[in-house]
Each structure stands twice: as C-alpha cells, then as structure tokens.
Chains A and B, each alone.
Chain A
C-alpha cells in the first residue's frame, strides 16, 4: 500500500518536474539527444560534436545573458542587441588600432567598449522610455539603423592598423579581421581541457559563469528587485515610489554593455572580428535562445539562458553535420540557415507575456 502511494508521489513529482521544464523544451531536448545518438552511426565524431556544442555555448552565452535585464524591467526582448555589439566592435578595433596584442588586447577591448556601451545604451534607453509598449518594434529598428550607420563609419573612421584596413586603399576597415596574434582564444585557452577530440574552453565558460553569477546577484539586490517589479507591473512599482524610467534606463544600459562584452567573447572564440552587416544577424539567435530556454517577454532567469543557449546552439550545430553525413552532400550552410531561422521562427511563436 505504502509502496503504491510512494510510487504515486514519485510519479507526481516527475510529472511536475516535466511540466515545469515545459513540453516544447522536452521535445527539443529529445531531438538534440537523438541527434547525438545518431551522429556516430552516420560517421560524425561524437566528441568533436560535443566540443562544438560546448564551444558555441561559450561564444554565445554572454550575448544571450544580455537579454535578461531588459526582460526583467519590462522592456521586452532586446532586439536592439546590434547597438551593444557595435560598442563592442568599436572597443575591439580601437584596442587593435592602439597596438595592444595578445590577451591584453581583450582586456583593453572590453575597457574601451565600455564608454561606448554606456553612452549608446543611455540614448537607447531614453528612446525606449519615450515609446513604452512598443519597445520591441522600435528596438529592432534601432538595431537595423545603427548597423547601417556603422557600415558607413567603418569605411570613414581613420583607422590605420595594417591588420585591419583594406590592403590596396590603405584605409577603411575590412569586413573580416583576423584576431590571430591578438585575442583569439584568449579566454578559451585558460585552463583548457583536451581529452582526445574533446576540447573544453574552461576559461570562456568560467567567464560566462562569473557574469551570470553577477547578474543573478544583481537581481537579488534592492535595485534588482525593483527592476523585476517594474517589469511585472510598472504601475505597482510607481505607486511604491520607484522611478520607473530610471530603472528601465539602467536595464537598457546593462543589456547594451553585456552585448558589447558578449561580442568580444564571441570573437575570441570565433577568431575573427566581423564588421559591416554581421551585427545585423546577431540579435535573433540570442532572442530565440532565451525564448527556447523558457523565458517569456517579461520573465527570464539565468537557467533560461543556460538551457536555451545549449539547446539552440546544439540543434544549430548538430543538425547540419548529421544531415550532411547522412546524404553525403555538402549543404551544411543551407541546412544551418534553414534550421537556425526555423528555430528563430519557432521561438518567436513561443513568446508569452505575463498576467496583466
């Protein structure tokens, strides 16, 4: 008898856990596991695949984390991520221009990006405070237009470093700049673990963990609590004496700064700085990752970030590889685009809002 009840209680607990995790995420996780199981049979090397997923997690984690503050303050998903990314790119190119090399160039890039992120973030936040209710639409266009503006600026700004400018003209930045000799793998190399084909970029993951912990801690402070309350019900917050606009501004600046740092982390893993239209495509994967991780438009946790990034990047890296190996045709780029945009589309349909 008691065994029966115990079993029931256990079932109940499993069911609750499953419900909390969410059916869509269970399905995606199941699909990812299926891909991992299938991959050795179609001739893909499993440890390499796993390294790939972990690597891509370490590149993208901070960019996804940048979504969190604005979601908490009720500004919605930060489709204006390119603005923060541009701050990061300015920091990166300036750091190289000023002649820093090696790991130091990463630190300098982060430091140089910060003032840009603060200023642009403030302007962006001020703008978002003017158009409450339509943040995400405006944010998208802020992202788009800032990218277009910078397309001109990258050509016009007086950069001279031969590693960055077009070879023939001697001016104007190249679309892709190699970080070889600068900060490529700067974080990943720290305490890197290599077991056969399995490679874990410990330093980059630790860096993400530090930032994620800082975010978690911030949300436990007085200001962080106010931020969550503003996102949950701005009228409630206002009647409790909170300066709603100020809190929202703080969240936007935080998000922009994290995006700047996030792109630097991405670059150190990827090994290249991508300019011009590249930032254009960075916002949607990050938005999708956090949505797949189970966040809603005004609720997001660090766990959502971690789960979402692993699932999104896992599917996006694994599907093309497995498919390629199955049909023996190199169309990985096509499949990658189909899968990643499909995931984005799916994630955006999962967009839910809290009770109003």
Chain B
C-alpha cells in the first residue's frame, strides 16, 4: 500500500481585498519528492508558499480558504514559527542572515548548543554559555548534508553571494525536524557552478527523505532535479506533469499561454505596419531604476500603433517608460518626430506631448488626498495652461474650477469611474477606479504618445477589460500612439500590435502579438 503523502493542499483559495489570486489549488507531495513550481510573476507561487509557511501577511489580509494536511494532520499556521515547529523550512529570495555573524552562528541562531555555568544555575538558562565545539560539529554536519564546502567561521559579510545562499539552506537543514524545504528562487543569484552544486545537494536531500518545493525561473534546473513539475498561471494550477515527460518549450507554453488556439483568432498575427512612419526612436537608452535597470535599449515606435513591452519582472521593462519620462536617471538618445527629447526632465517630455500612466499608482500616479477634479486636471493645467482664467493680461492665472468640474464629469462618464462626485478624494476609490483616474489624467493632456505602465496591476478582471478597452479606443479614435508595458503577456497580446520583449535590460526581440507563445517564452529567458 502506498504511504500517505507528506503534504496535501486541498482547494486552497486566497483573495486580497476581493482580488482573487489563488483559486482551488490542489497539491500533494510525498516524502523525498522534489517538485518544481513554475509560473510567471504574479501567477501566485509566492502567495501559495506564504500560505503554507504561515506568513503574517496572509492572516492580516483575511486568511485563506481550503485546507492543508501535513503528515495526515490538518494544520493551519498562524506564524512561521509554528510552521518551522512542524518541520517546514523556507529559504527566501532575499537573504535573512546577520552580516556580522559567522556562518555557524547564523546557521544555529537561537538554537545554539549550550553549556551550563555558575551564572545560569544562579539566574536562568538565559545565562548559559555557548558550546562552540558542539556548534561547529552541528554546523559542519548541516553543510556536509548539502555536499558543498563553505568556511563555517567566515563572516556572512565577507562571503560571496553563493555562499550566503548555502548558509541559508544549511540553516534549514540543521533543523532536525525538517521534513519539507521550500526554496524560493535559490539559484537566481548563483553562478552556474554554484547552482550545479545546489542542485546536487537538493538531490542529496531528497535521498534523505526531505521533500523539496523548488521555485525558479530557470526551467532547465527544474527538469534536471525535479520529479514533478507544477505550472501555475493566474492563480490556478494549469498543469502537473512528470519531469521526464516534458520539455522546456512545453513548460514555457503552459506558463504564458491561456487557451492556446481558442482565442487566437483576434490576435494580430502579422506585422502589418512595416510601412508606417517611425514616430519615436529610442537609442542606446540606459536607465538607473532600482530593480528594473535598463542597459542598452534600441526601440522604434511606429505612428498610431500600440506597442507592447513585456518580459519578466526585474528585466528592465518598467525602466523604459520611467527613464524616457525623466523620472529616473537615464542616458541615451530619444527622438520624437525628428526632434531630440532631452532626458531627465519630465517637463520637456510633457511639452513634447508625451503622457505617462505610472505603474506606481499610489506613489506617483495620484494625489490621494485631493479630489478627482484635481487629479484629472492637474497635469493639463500645469503643462498646457488649460482650465485657467487669465486676468490682468495673463499676470494672474486663476484656476477655473468650473471647467475642471466639466472635464472631470466627462471622463467619469466616459470611463465609467465609480465615485460619489467629482470632489471625492482619490484615496477613497477602489484600485480599478483609481487606475481609470490615472488614465483620465493622461487623456486630459491629449497626448500624441502615451506610455502606460502596468495598467492592470492589482485590479480585478472586470476593471481590467474596461481599462484595456479604454486604451484601445483612445488609440483608435484619437490616433494616439500607445506604448504599453505589462508583465501579463496575454494582456499585451490582446491589446497590442507588436510586442517587444525585454530581457537583461535589452530588447530581446520584437514579435507580432499573434506569434506562438513558445517564441515569447524563449525571448523572455534569453538574457536572464
């Protein structure tokens, strides 16, 4: 008879403020099994792992639905400590190590071997001294379990990144009760050789009966080490397959595709606009945007098209519009309509009739404490002197509140913004409606070129469709060229004429949006 699985997750559901991020996830894991969890950013992998690990953020946002069964026992962790108690270990993307401590000290932090002393007899065991010898032995054991060699006396701050990662894993391995280890992109910072060593140690762990959930973007590693591959997309498990029966190309397709074939009729399949005039040309662009560095982008935008910019998170796609619009330090050459646009100066871009809808809605996009009227009319007022009454020969530029109210009402109707009045504060609106306000703000500028960054991030499905339709309509009716950046490939394919994929801060390639999904997947991983 087959042994009961170590871990079983049944019908896991989770929403953040009505925004469904996980739906009916079922996952089983046996002892000593390694499964690979793959999916695009925002597919729900991290959220799923946070639920399993009892992260605070889950409880604070209203808990989750479904049940988790560990060792034939129903569990629900209120904090990571409880999860650790039950034998779950997690290695995060970001290091959680103390830089000034040696590897051993980090590995055994708060679980040190101790010796009794006179003071501890007198007071409490808080006064125990550390048993360094025993600690060294235990740390050494944990390190050897990984099958790598790191200096256990070296300080974390002196270590290369790879060793830090190993220290972190060793910490989890040194816990005797460890049964299940979650690795969240552990190889992202490793060199090829180090990654190879890590994979080897994962195999070793599996042999000892530790189950591993391995999350990574490097699909090759998944195939090399995992028994099964689970693919997630839009908060669902779309596929579960034995690693030997699949290939990188297949997984890529599952990762990015929706109903492959079914909805593809509406895609623009051919590059139809070759003869169109180039309206914006970007050359040798670099942008110093933290986490989204752009290294060397060359991109031509055609008049009247919707150009999509896609790619994985952190590859630099967000840096392009932010750099061109002067919000982050940038260099290179940007030419619009034959005129060179100076960088690092938002005003010059706006004067050249660009507009930008930022991905950082609350930080950059909105005046949360002000009325919708102000939010929508402000840039147009400041840049183009609209909605102003001039007195004393233009010496006094008086705000024309009536005109502002008019334009706001117009856009509220047009974009179906749900609000109580034009004077409602922006912070009181839902995410989707806030996004529409951001669009209205850009529309009010009547731009010739519109940059839209992550227009559907964090908004629900209904609002998504409305926002995308509004963009398409604006493009068609006003002939405005739109450059849209999004991490959701499907959304780009449905909206854009062409899609440029950014990888490693460079343009990996430009494809018509009807192109096969595998092609996009290949480009996404090209320079990673």
Residues of A within 8 A of B (CB): 220-226, 228-229, 232-233, 235-236, 238-243, 298-299, 354-356
Contact = CB atoms under 8 A, between A and B. Distances in A.
A195 to B, nearest CB: 39
Contacts of B363: 233, 235
Contacts of A241: 346-347, 349-351, 379, 382-383
Given A221-B396, A222-B382, A233 B368 contact: yes
Contacts of B369: 232-233, 298-299, 354-355
Q: Which 7 A-B pairs give the minimum distances between C-beta atoms?
A: A241-B347, A240-B379, A222-B397, A241-B350, A354-B369, A355-B368, A235-B364
Given A241-B382, A241-B383, A355-B427, A236 B367 contact: yes
Interface of B: 325, 327, 346-347, 349-351, 356, 358, 360, 363-370, 374, 378-379, 381-383, 385, 388, 396-399, 427
A228 B370 contact: yes
A168 to B, nearest CB: 53
A323 to B, nearest CB: 40
Contacts of A242: 347, 382
Contacts of A224: 399
Given A229-B374, A233-B368, A235-B363, A240 B398 contact: no
A236 B397 contact: no
Given A221-B399, A228-B370, A241-B383, A236 B365 contact: yes
Task: Give the one of A221, A225, A240 with max B CB within 10 A.
Answer: A240
Contacts of A226: 382
A229 B378 contact: yes
A225 to B, nearest CB: 5
A229 B370 CA distance: 8
B80 to A, nearest CB: 28
A226 to B, nearest CB: 6
B420 to A, nearest CB: 14
A229 B399 CA distance: 13
Task: Give the one of A225, A238, A239 with max B CB within 10 A.
Answer: A239
B356 A239 contact: yes
Contacts of B388: 222
Given A220-B398, A226-B382, A240 B366 contact: no
Task: Give the one of A220, A241, A356 with max B CB within 10 A.
Answer: A241
A356 B367 CA distance: 9
A284 B385 CA distance: 39
Contacts of B396: 221
A230 to B, nearest CB: 10
A222 B347 contact: no
A347 to B, nearest CB: 21
Contacts, number: 78
B382 A240 contact: yes
A242 B365 CA distance: 14
B250 to A, nearest CB: 42
A225 B389 CA distance: 13
A295 to B, nearest CB: 13
Task: Give the one of A221, A228, A236, A242 with max B CB within 10 A.
Answer: A236
A236 B358 CA distance: 10
Contacts of A298: 369
A220 B346 CA distance: 24
Contacts of A232: 367-370
A222 B366 contact: no
Contacts of A238: 327, 346
8 contacts: A225-B374, A228-B370, A232-B368, A232-B369, A238-B327, A239-B327, A240-B379, A241-B351
Given A220-B399, A225-B381, A355-B427, A243 B367 contact: no
B487 to A, nearest CB: 21
Contacts of A235: 360, 363-364
B375 to A, nearest CB: 8
A74 to B, nearest CB: 11
B358 A243 contact: no
A236 B364 contact: yes
Contacts of A222: 381-382, 385, 388, 397, 399
A235 B364 CA distance: 5
A236 B383 CA distance: 13
B366 A233 contact: yes
A239 to B, nearest CB: 5
A220 B383 CA distance: 17
A71 B374 CA distance: 18
Task: Give the one of A228, A232, A243 with max B CB within 10 A.
Answer: A232
Contacts of B398: 220-221
Nearest to A221: B397
A252 B124 CA distance: 59
Contact of B347 (A233, A243, A299): A243
Contacts of B374: 225, 229
Given A221-B397, A236-B367, A241-B382, 19 more contacts: A220-B398, A221-B399, A222-B382, A222-B385, A225-B378, A229-B367, A229-B370, A229-B378, A232-B368, A232-B370, A233-B369, A236-B364, A239-B346, A239-B365, A239-B379, A241-B347, A241-B379, A355-B369, A356-B368
A243 B350 CA distance: 13
B397 A240 contact: no
A311 to B, nearest CB: 24
Contacts of A356: 368
A298 B349 CA distance: 29
B399 A233 contact: no
